[in-house]
Structure 1
């Protein structure tokens, strides 16, 4: 019910914004295409810190996986990109900067001269997850504006849009948290008074930031700060630039940030199966039969919603072999020890490359197995919700191949 109410509010807000004129002087009057160029003008109140130089990113894909990946071009869900140009990663500070983020599909960052800063703002298309040009940001269609909430001090925006705006764990860890690395590298972390997130009450948001020394009272969110004006607004370039590749520095940053913490009292099996029986989609229709096969090989099942953020990190970092369903929980593969083999289960109508890329970046041998989906579908939104059935014999054979890749000093390990 709360989720439905929020959707109704978002829809009503969109209609209101585009039909009822109010405080139109807050609508941007133009665009700064480049943060770097903006900061070159002393009168702009903008400062620019280059952090990671531009480079060419490459991705190696396991044989046969590229052919298996599902394609839904309308939402930008396509085959893995083998090579991508990564633009310079940077941090921008705006004196008296504004930020408007009253819906999930766009964020508008506005300089003191009332112009949109294009390379740190974003706009998703309304019918998918693809990005549009800054000129297409819906703030230029907006007629109704709330008065900005003034914030004394320095605010860092961790907003990343899309799945991050809807509380998706993958997008939080991949597209939001790594912005902290860029700010630290620029030497600005100590200046931050507040961190802007989508939902400061989300448990994994609070837990993951607290582990980095960020206190709950430092969090503000879009429920109360849809439109804000900060004494100093800090924003960063998108973590993945204008593409989909994970930057080379993302994995090392997350591992440095979270792996040193010890977790006393937690004891997990080194052979891990991640169950989605608590999820609303992509569940195993024959999970009991699957778990019978898993027990033959000493795998233990875990439901991630039962675990704290620290326990998830501990579970994945201590595993010697991992099996799981395609889903946001597999983002925790970034904490696994290099060399740990991974088997991911997919509906054959919705094979995604996200975990495969994490495995490549971390150094985890990646295996996959597709199962029969609960219904036929050529529609992205329907396909991603499908449950699936996994053939026990195919699973048994896949586990044998998986365990052949387990390091010799970890073979035969058990929780007992």
Structure 2
């Protein structure tokens, strides 16, 4: 959930022009395209599928109040990723898929499934893959894997690891996967160690699972690749159904030996994060501390504390960011106050909260700079905290 870049900055940089040049040369010659594993074309999973385990389209209630609808439509929609044409209707068109792709290849450098039959990478939206998903690189062939495999997309974002990788996988394991049936989870190296750790937890919880690591410069042929996806109004509105989220939380708590509880009030700090720094955090925390809040910051080495603190909190206050993915571990009924800069509001955690039974509210501060550093009016913050305590 990084800063918003202007169209000028997106287009006029060396990465973009290098990608265009690569597409104009390597991308047009099949032999070079295969040699450098450069696949700018995409194919939708339904077209690539050799087997369909689930493919359902349905009207999904947003469950937004009138105020929440206005907040999403008028403030968040321009910042939400891949926002569609939702204009405040009480439902949104959704599609959930679980398909298998035979004789696929997993590409380590882009973290995608390649369908040799279409010479394209599998993505939800067909067309042309951008420079994040079409890179020219010579990959080392790996020994083929038999049976069904699931490729966990390479990500360094904690929220995406939880809600775009792990929650859909747990949903599949609970509803569609035969107990004890072999399934290989394929991971690529990531700075996000918790993703690999979560695979170990899933192996403990589900017999038949095992995990292999695909090097970033690896190309892995697999007999059958599993694709899981969920589409709604935009990319912020993830799967996040309550049963698999709660099951994932149960797996994490069981692994760490944590019992859910209540009574804690968390002021969730972004610490020294470069992006979305709360300029007057100290003053705001002093206000919160007077109401029994404790300050907590997520780090790579304290994940058990993250699970424990969110599992035992009654109220959570935090600035928008990937760390709020820990809402997955909250008990239903937990109160959440999310803080935004004026010029960067997203509906991600409102959506999550509605789906898993949390009581959500928001507070918009002043405008953020390029790195989204911003401040919040202290009187407005105090009033909102008092309302949280009193409700």
TM-score normalised by the chain length of structure 1: 0.72
1:177 partnered with 2:183: no
**From 207, 217, 223, the counterpart of 2:216:** 223
Change (3 A) 1:141 1:212: closer
1:404 partnered with 2:356: no
Counterpart of 1:212 in 2: which secondary structure?
A: helix
Show the 5 A alignment for 1:144-183: 146=139, 148-154=141-147, 155-159=149-153, 165-183=154-172
Distance in 2 of aligned mates of 1:228 and 1:11: 29
Change (3 A) 1:354 1:88: closer
Is this contact kept in 2: 1:80–1:353, CA < 8 A?
no
Counterpart of 2:161 in 1: which secondary structure?
A: helix
Deviation at 1:346, TM superposition (A): 0.7
Deviation at 1:370, TM superposition (A): 1.3
Distance in 2 of aligned mates of 1:65 and 1:242: 15
For structure 1, the 5+ residue unaligned runs are 1-6, 40-45, 123-130, 160-164, 376-381, 406-416
Is this contact kept in 2: 1:84–1:245, CA < 8 A?
no
Greater RCO between the two (CA within 8 Å, min separation 6)?
2
Deviation at 1:319, TM superposition (A): 0.5
Deviation at 1:341, TM superposition (A): 1.3
1:331 partnered with 2:331: no
Counterpart of 2:229 in 1: which secondary structure?
A: coil
Counterpart of 1:372 in 2: which secondary structure?
A: coil
Give the equivalent residue in structure 2 for 1:234. Answer: 225
Give the equivalent residue in structure 2 for 1:316. Answer: 310
**What is the count of residue pairs matched by the alignment?**
360
TM-score normalised by the chain length of structure 2: 0.76
Give the equivalent residue in structure 2 for 1:411. Answer: none
Is this contact kept in 2: 1:17–1:145, CA < 8 A?
no
**From 110, 113, 120, the counterpart of 2:115:** 110
Distance in 2 of aligned mates of 1:304 and 1:364: 20
Change (3 A) 1:170 1:181: same
Deviation at 1:150, TM superposition (A): 3.3
Distance in 1 of aligned mates of 2:33 and 2:301: 47
**From 173, 176, 189, the counterpart of 1:186:** 176
**From 233, 242, 252, the counterpart of 1:251:** 242
What is the CA RMSD across the aligned residues, in angstroms? Answer: 4.0
For structure 2, the 5+ residue unaligned runs are 1-12
